[in-house]
Amino acid sequence: MRWPGASWRRSSTHGWCPLSGSASTTLMSSRLMARPSPPQPQVSWIPNKHYSGLYGLMKLVLPGVLPPDLVRVIVLDTDVTFASDIAELWALFAHFSDEQVIGLVENQSDWYLGNLWRNHRPWPALGRGFNTGVILLRLDRLRQTGWEQMWKLTATQELVTLPATSLADQDIFNAVIKGHPGLVQPLPCVWNVQLSDHTLAERCYLEAADLKVIHWNSPKKLRVKNKHVEFFRNLYLTFLEYDGNLLRRGLFGCPSPPSPEAEQLQRALAQLNEEDVCFEFRQQQLTVHRVHLTFLPHEPPLSQPHDVTLVAHLSMDRLQMLEVLCRHWPGPMSLALYLTDAEAQQFLRFVEASVVLSARLDVAYHVVYREGPLYPINQLRNVALAQVLTPYVFLSDIDFLPSYSLYDYLRASIWQLELGRGRKAALVVPAFETLHYHFTFPSSKAELLALLDAGSLSTFRYHEWPRGYEPTDYARWREAQAPYRVQWVADYEPYVVVPRDCPRYDPRFVGFGWNKVAHIVELDAQEYELLVLPEAFTIHLPHTPSLDISRFRSNPTYRECLQALKDEFHQDLSRRYGAAAVKYLTALQQPRGPT
């Protein structure tokens, strides 16, 4: 089961999420998922015509599945937009009488009056009934009143004459309230302004300042038609593009003691010297980014022992690479995107408009929200790597296109080399590049060699940074028929296939420079053998230089700070690997090229 609370900032979908004063949404969801018996079977016997399906009924079982020490919760559909402080909603619990257990806003249409069309037969309700998009629940009192038996008996009785629920849990809540009107505390209508197809919500408010919660409870969501929908739509879209980092500041935080990790981070930040020329680097390393994992719907592939996920990262200026990458790599991908809140919405629309991308549910997108002046390249890689579900990963970059057959070839190579039997190896995929924006991508090694000989391709960074890729031994690769081993050399940074539990990237390296080199050092230190695959290749496409590359090339201070990070990395190697680190310290002491 997937709890939908994380989709509030992404899209108006139908789902729900419980909130309590004593636990965060994330904690609530994890505690629910950890329960030994899932709650779905408790409602699966109820026929439901509502588009939310089975999950639209599960609010009924909250008193039984939430922790018994939890007294109050607010339950929200995920198609609501808050225009006020949720603490004001929580304060309405104080208005409950001793008998009242449920707080609801009246339904803002004539649905339950049964006069919307001929032969319309709704479930029983008290007057217009109530809408369950916003609910205040006194869990302790619900348990005492025998809520589970009450709603099950009511549903069973009504289903004798009614074929199914039309509005999921809402129908059953209303039928219970019809027989027990003292259970409900009516809430002010502004706490659930309903934009359904037949809404009468405009009777509820006179001006924008009156609005508290806007509920997109039509299946059409943002495309619903009503008198003020343009205003509501703009309000919703403005919220989506709001800078979420502003919501993280202590000024707006909850009055709760910080965690030990947060205190440690604050101490580290306080020790930074703003006069330090490398202050930006130090601060970026310590930045804890907001991360939205699985930003779009994702269907993981079936588990296979030799499967490979392509791992990469990108920012907004590389979105155009996604479609062509999907055509080259038919397997699963885990991609970390570094975006602002506004860019995340642009990305959402980009995917929805793309036939290629919207069809690829095996691509997992993880949004890391932008904060700070430097690109947190290794943090992004680690986010994408941590979400991989296959046994192996191809660690790539977004501006590379793998050969069309690489996915199948890698899986076959992993099987043939018996990597699953304890052999520690990093499979090297030789990298090439073209300076042509339009060229015919080679379909085989033979075609690639022909392009190489014609000068249309070259080995990657042959002119700028040969040390990074020469150890692959391209001359040997031309003739190779079987994988061959190469030795680690200082500054070597190939693209590799490794088990998903490989060492993580060193997050100290931000911006441009040495981010992959350090990772290959780590692999060698942990005794991964480097095996070059004879039929594998990937090709780098031209693009405008990133801001960080431009700063590296033009700013001596930037390069000095990178060298300081490298020196610290050397010291950490010595501490972690002792005498085994001597070869790295010797080889890496002299400042060299860029990465």
For position 590, what pLDDT does the model report? 56
For position 18, what pLDDT does the model report? 66
For position 72, what pLDDT does the model report? 96
Residue from 377, 424, 397 nearest 518 by CA: 377
- CA-based radius of gyration for the chain: 29
Structure tokens at 286: 């310590």
Residue with the two structure tokens 């501006």: 399
Sign of the Cα pseudo-torsion (374, 506, 398, 316, in order)? negative
Structure tokens at 173: 């809540």
Distances (CA, A) of 480 to 121, 418, 474, 535: 75, 20, 10, 8
Structure tokens at 21: 């004063």
Question: What is the per-residue DSSP string for 200-225?
Answer: -GGGT-SSGGG-SEEE--STTGGG--
Residue from 104, 31, 32 nearest 74 by CA: 104
HEC secondary structure over 477-499 = HHHCCCCEEECCCCCCCCEEEEE
Q: Is 373 exposed, middle or buried (0-12, 13-18, 19+ CB in 10 A)?
A: middle
Residue from 568, 569, 553, 559 nearest 591 by CA: 559
Contact 390, 460 (CB under 8 A): no
Question: What does DSSP say about strands 130-138 and 102-106: parallel, antiparallel, or unpaired?
Answer: antiparallel
Question: What does DSSP say about strands 538-540 and 431-433: parallel, antiparallel, or unpaired?
Answer: parallel
Question: Residue 81 has what DSSP assignment?
Answer: E
pTM of the model: 0.78
Contact 151, 180 (CB under 8 A): no
Residue with the two structure tokens 């409870």: 217
Burial 463-495 (b: 16+ CB within 10 A, else e): eebebbbbbbbbeebeebeebbebebebbbbbb
- Tens of pLDDT, residue by residue, the chain (595 residues): 223 333 334 443 445 666 655 433 333 333 333 344 566 788 999 999 988 888 889 999 999 999 999 999 999 998 998 888 899 999 999 999 999 999 999 999 999 998 888 888 999 999 999 999 999 999 999 999 999 999 999 999 999 999 999 999 999 999 999 999 999 999 999 999 999 888 888 889 888 788 899 999 888 888 888 778 888 888 888 888 888 887 776 555 556 677 788 788 888 888 888 888 888 888 888 888 999 999 999 998 888 999 999 999 999 999 999 999 999 999 999 999 999 999 999 999 999 999 999 999 999 999 999 998 899 999 999 999 999 999 999 999 999 999 999 999 999 999 999 887 878 999 999 999 998 888 899 999 999 999 999 999 999 988 888 889 999 999 999 999 999 999 999 999 999 999 999 999 999 999 888 899 999 999 999 999 999 999 999 999 987 777 887 888 888 888 998 888 988 898 898 899 888 888 887 776 655 544 4
For position 22, what pLDDT does the model report? 40
Question: What is the per-residue DSSP string for 221-240?
Answer: GGG---TTHHHHHHHHHHHH
Q: How far apart are alpha carbons 384 and 363 in whole angstroms?
A: 11
Q: How far apart are alpha carbons 340 and 371 in whole angstroms?
A: 8
Q: Which helix (H) or strand (E) holds 184?
A: strand 184-186
For position 342, what pLDDT does the model report? 92
Burial 332-364 (b: 16+ CB within 10 A, else e): bbbbbbbbbbbbbbebbebbeeeeebeebebbb
